[in-house]
Every structure is written in C-alpha cells, then in structure tokens.
Amino acid sequence: MTGRLMVPMLAILLAASAAAQSRVQIGYCAPLKDVSAAKRAGFDYVELSTTEIAALSDADFEQAVAALTDTGLPVPVTNLFLPAALKVTGPEADTARQMAYVAKAFDRVARLGVRIVVFGSGGARRVPEGYPRDDAVRQMVDFGRRIAPLAQARGLTVAIEPLRREETNIVNSAAEGLDLVEAVRDPAFQLMIDFFHLSREHEDPRIVVRAASHLRHIHLANPEGRVFPLADDEYDYEPFFANLRAIGYDQRISIEASTTDLQRDGPRAIALVRRALGR
C-alpha cells in the first residue's frame, strides 16, 4: 500500500474508532432477576437498584456478583439510592445511620463496576409537613457534601434526580437539581435528568444546555403511561433530543419504564434512541 493510500485509511480508522467510543450506551432499569432478560433484549447495560443490592445478605450479595459476572452485562449505574425510611430531611434525619448505609451501599455497588449512583429516593428526601423548607434545603446540601467524598474514594459519582411533585416535594425540576449541585460544589455530586419527570413538570428541555457541564445520566420513558418509548410520533421527544445533540451528549441513557414484552419493546426503544441521537 502506498503512503498516499495509507494516510486516508488511517484517518478513516481513527474516525471510526472515535465514533465507536462516543456511541451513547442504552440501558434498562431492572431488578436483579431481570438481568439476563435485559441482555437478551439487546441493552448495553443494566441499571440496578442500590437499595436491592444493599439489602442483600453477604452470601446473597456474593451470589449476585457471581451471577452478574457470568451474565456479562455491565452495571455502570444504579438507582433507588436510599430506602424511604432513611430520612435526609426533617427532624428524623440521622447522620450516623445515613453514613453507615451509604458506606455499605457504595462499597457494594463499586464492586459491581458502578460509576453513577442515581439519587432519586423521593420518600427519603420528602420534607415533613410544617418543616422549614430552608432547613430542608440545608440538610440536602449537607448530605451531598458528606457523601461526595465517600463516592469519590470509590470511583463513584452521585447524580441527583429531580422528581415530579407526586413523588416528592423537594428538587422537582432539573433547574432545582442544578442549584443543589452548585451548592454542594463537589465533582462527585452531579445531575441526571429523567425525561418523564421533566415532561410532567412541564420544564423547558433547554435546561439540558444550561446543565451540560453537570449532566451525567439520563432516564427515558414515554410520559403517556410511563411505558417504553417505541415510536417517534407517539410523543414530542424531539426538543429534548435536539438539546442532547446540541451539547454532544455522549454518556448513558437508561429506559426506566414498564413493558409487557421486554424482548419485543426493548429493541424498538433502543432503535428510537439511536435514531433520535443520530447514532
């Protein structure tokens, strides 16, 4: 091969390699029992529940580690961070209990290869009626600042998930989530955006652009029924994806939705996301 032919070929190979590396991974939020089904459906990874992992006995956890290794499907993300009884806001917040649970949970998910821990946990962070909101916000900031060093030491990043008002009464919009991230001021405490909650709160999807430097993860569902996204015309997804394309989003998107047939709907949801991102 001549030198003139080798240079273009090298450029093509490098471009292909860069494209492969920037390909957004698409995963499925599922319990441990559904990992094999997620793999068969074609997902790149599975997003497990932190609370499920943390609640396992030591023996059951070791069995889960072995089973996940055998399955071969990565677990780079977990959600459902805190049990509802472990309060973050209000007079029942117990910092010692919080930190004991968080340390155990972080140790376990880190062993699974997790990199992002989604912090939704609407029940745990719900502000009790009559409790001063400013105090609750300070508690949320303090919690973030206390757990971020534990996360960073294990190679983890906590990503706060804004939730609709029906699920909690604090941090309901991505804009409020961004405010919390900026108040915590730690690289191990960042933001994720769930399209279902964003839509239900009628938030402008341009928040994606404003939050770009802190955005670490995405959840996706068809807001009409919180089911698998299957068709481009079933909902107005385009403004959201247009903003993801505008910022060059190249991290993960998890389908967090219900389905009666994962093997049928999984590939269709994956294809929809690939089309929407142009990848």
pLDDT tens profile 52-111: 999 999 999 999 999 999 999 999 999 999 999 999 999 999 999 999 999 999 999 999
Residue 153 CA from chain centroid, whole number: 20
How confident is the model over 150-172, as a mean pLDDT?
98
* Any domain includes 89: yes
Query: Residue 279: what pLDDT?
Result: 65
In terms of Cα–Cα distance, which of 221, 210, 125, 116 is closest to 171? 125
Query: Does residue 215 surpass a pLDDT of 80?
Result: yes
Query: Residue 23: what pLDDT?
Result: 82
Instruction: Report the C-alpha dihedral over residues 274, 277, 278, 279, rounded to 10 degrees.
Output: -50
Query: Does residue 128 surpass a pLDDT of 50?
Result: yes
List the domain range (segments joined by +) for residue 135: 39-277
In terms of Cα–Cα distance, which of 254, 174, 181, 236 is closest to 206? 174
DSSP the chain: --HHHHHHHHHHHHHHHHHHHHPPEEEEE--GGGHHHHHHTT-SEEEEEHHHHHHS-HHHHHHHHHHHHHHT----EEE--S-TTS-SSSTT--HHHHHHHHHHHHHHHHHTT--EEEE--HHHHPPPTTS-HHHHHHHHHHHHHHHHHHHHHTT-EEEE----TTT-SS--SHHHHHHHHHHH--TTEEEEEEHHHHHHTT--TTHHHHTGGGEEEEEE-BTTTTB----TTSS--HHHHHHHHHTT--SEEEE--B-S-HHHHHHHHHHHHHHHHT-
Query: Does residue 7 surpass a pLDDT of 70?
Result: no
Which of these ranges, 11-15, 36-40, 67-71, 123-127, has the smallest mean pLDDT? 11-15
Give the count of beta carbons closer than 10 Å to the beta carbon of residue 160. 27
* Any domain includes 34: no
* Any domain includes 50: yes
* Any domain includes 19: no
Residues making up the chain, counted from first to last: 279
Query: Residue 262: what pLDDT?
Result: 98
Work out how many domains the chain is built from and give that number: 1
| pTM greater than 0.85 | yes
Q: pLDDT band at 11, cuts 50/70/90?
A: very low
Type of residue at 243: N
What does the pLDDT look like over 135-146, one tens digit per residue? Answer: 999 999 999 999
Query: Does residue 22 surpass a pLDDT of 90?
Result: no
Domain of residue 183, CATH code: 3.20.20.150
C-alpha distances in Å from residue 42, one per residue of 143, 183, 253: 37, 39, 14
What is the C-alpha separation between 132 and 130, in angstroms, rounded?
6
* Any domain includes 71: yes
Query: Residue 112: what pLDDT?
Result: 98
How confident is the model over 20-26, as a mean pLDDT?
71
* Any domain includes 273: yes
* Any domain includes 22: no
* Any domain includes 18: no
Q: What sign results for the dihedral spanned by CA atoms 103, 27, 178, 174?
A: negative
Burial 193-212 (b: 16+ CB within 10 A, else e): bbbbbbbbbebebebbeebe
How confident is the model over 119-137, as a mean pLDDT?
98
How confident is the model over 218-238, as a mean pLDDT?
98
Query: Does residue 1 surpass a pLDDT of 70?
Result: no
